[in-house]
Amino acid sequence: MKSIFRIFYSGMSISFFGSIVIGTIGLSAMQLSITEGIRPAINFSIGSIVAEVIYVRLLLVALGWIQKNERIFKILEWVTVLIVIVLAIASFRAALGNHGAKNVMLSNTMHRFLLGLSMRALSPAAIPFWLGWSSVLHTKGILQNKKGFYNGYLLGIGIGTFAAHCIFIFGGKLAVEKLDASQEAINFIIGSIFSVTALIQIWKIFKKKDTVEVLHNHQEEFE
């Protein structure tokens, strides 16, 4: 039991500190909380967490398939860049006072749970992150090839990510209310962060610091 709690705590801690770093999913959840309310933002967060947990579970049992389908992840990397660019443009348009324009997330009727699920599913960013950490935990014997350990690991990941998203969801909304910041200013800040995120992702792709390279670097550690 102590060993399972250890892997649960490890998954939760890694997930929390990894998700607290400003990124597309966290910012999107914050933007939803500001414009639509807490419940849609939480639904979005839960959807993204479900996709992330599925990613990690597949990593633990299907590394062979992943290695044989590298092209899929190369395509998804560019899809991720496109999504971030669209989010940035939409935020800037709203910031410039085009009140008829909404963020791409708000311009569709998709349920926010499904939106979070699809946005995370289309982004392979979680794959190298969890592949690296799972490799470390596996090598140190903290993560063992047993169902109980896998379940504890995945549960910890889900709770850690949700806790981090709550900081964006509740903290962002509270900050806007306390600082009396305009939505235009918030949209400009968020658009700027999305722009930087897109540039960093493009740089990584051209510098070969992408998902496929990380998959190769960690392949032997799981064999």
Residue 99, pLDDT above cutoff 60: no
53, two tokens: 């947990």
Residue 22: CB atoms within 10 Å:
14
- Count Cβ neighbours within 10 Å for each residue of 90-129 and write b for 16 or more, e otherwise: bbbbbbeeeeebebbbeeeeeebbebbbebbbebbbbbbb
Mean pLDDT across the chain:
76
The domain ranges of the chain are 2-222
Least trusted range by pLDDT, from 83-97, 142-156, 166-180? 83-97
H or E element: which one contains 125? none
pLDDT value for 219:
47
What is the per-residue pLDDT across 50-77, written as a single tens digit (0 to 9) for each? 999 998 888 777 655 655 566 666 666 6
Residue 132 CA to residue 138 CA, distance in Å, equals 10
Sequence-separated (6 or more) residues with CB below 8 Å from residue 4: 148, 149, 152
Residue 43, pLDDT above cutoff 90: yes
Averaged over 27-32, what is the pLDDT?
A: 85
Q: What percentage of the chain reaches a pLDDT higher than 70?
A: 70
Length of the chain: 223
